[in-house]
Amino acid sequence: DIRMTQSPSTLSASVGDTVTVTCRASQSIGTLLAWYQQKPGKAPNLLIYEASTLESGVPSRFSGTGSGTEFTLTISTLQPDDFATYYCQQYNSFWTFGQGTKVENK
Amino acid sequence: EVQLVESGGGLVQPGGSLRLSCAASGFSFSTYRMNWVRQAPGRGLEWISYISSGNHVLYSDSVKGRFTISRDNARNSLFLQMNSLRAEDTALYYCARRYGDSNSGRYFDLWGRGTLVTVSS
């Protein structure tokens, strides 16, 4: 099984900050990685797929990079609506998610 | 409107059974591959089952042999039959649509709002 490890688990930031979340895969997954945003009581929402492709309708302040085993999600100029939990997901072999990174208001 | 709506959750005793449903609308359900993903209270996301448009199925080790995924394309519906339920199956269960057929399209682009399953005596 491919394990996904996100860091940090919690990130405290302020509106206007640039934040970065890291996701590591236990083996190479190429670029078969997605990022999701989840707000309390809501379903996950797809942000990025193929490691760096922005889903339609997602603001351009979200960006993703990486390949192989190391990936990052960057949110530039954090907005109030961005306080949420973010999950990475590999889809190279079955599907596994990282444990999540909560972006909270400092 | 393109959406997925889950139902069928509830409180069940350990060892019991429950059948979840997911109603799809606004898209050609029969052509899409579908999944069930669950989220235990305060925890992360766990993929548990997949079904192709041709009824090929996959399960995670945590539910294999106890859960059965199925679909009824005529009713635009996805199902999850859950047997031999355990306390650790307590979670919010989401149905999720896989975007495409190719390997690069295996991510989930549409999710329902979930249905809560509580396994407790």
Tokens of A3: 């394990």
Strand bridging mode B91-98 / A62-67: unpaired
Distance from CA of B49 to the nearest CA of A (A): 10
The reply to whether residue B44 touches residue A87, judged by beta carbons under 8 angstroms, is yes
Closest C-alpha to B29, from B51, B9, B45: B51
CA atoms of A80 and B46, how far apart (whole Å): 28
pLDDT at res. B101: 78
**Regions in chain B scoring below 70 on pLDDT:** none
pLDDT, tens only, A16-57 = 999 999 999 999 999 999 999 999 989 999 999 999 999 999
Tell me which chain A residues have a C-beta less than 8 angstroms from the C-beta of B104.
Answer: 32, 50
**Is the Cβ–Cβ distance between A85 and A100 less than 8 Å?**
yes
Separation between Cα atoms, residue A48 and residue B22, nearest integer Å: 25
CB within 8 Å of A95: residues ≥ 6 apart: A89, B35, B37, B47, B50, B106, B108
The torsion angles phi and psi of B21, rounded to 5 degrees, stand at: -125, 155
**Which among B104, B112, B113 is the nearest to A50, CB-wise?**
B104
The answer to whether the Cβ–Cβ distance between B60 and A49 falls below 8 Å is no
Concatenate the DSSP letters of all residues of A3-50 into one string: -EEEE-SEEEE-TT--EEEEEEESS--TT-EEEEEE-TTS--EEEEET
CA distance A106 to A39: 17
- Chain B residues within 8 A of A64 when measuring between CB atoms: none
Residue A61, pLDDT > 90, answer: yes
What average pLDDT does the structure give for chain A?
A: 97
Contact A4, A12 (CB under 8 A): no
**What local confidence, expressed as pLDDT, does residue B102 receive?**
81
Q: How far is CA A10 from CA A80, A86, A102, B17, B40, in A?
A: 16, 10, 5, 36, 19
Per the CB < 8 Å rule, is A89 touching B94?
no
C-beta separation of A24 from A69 below 8 A: yes
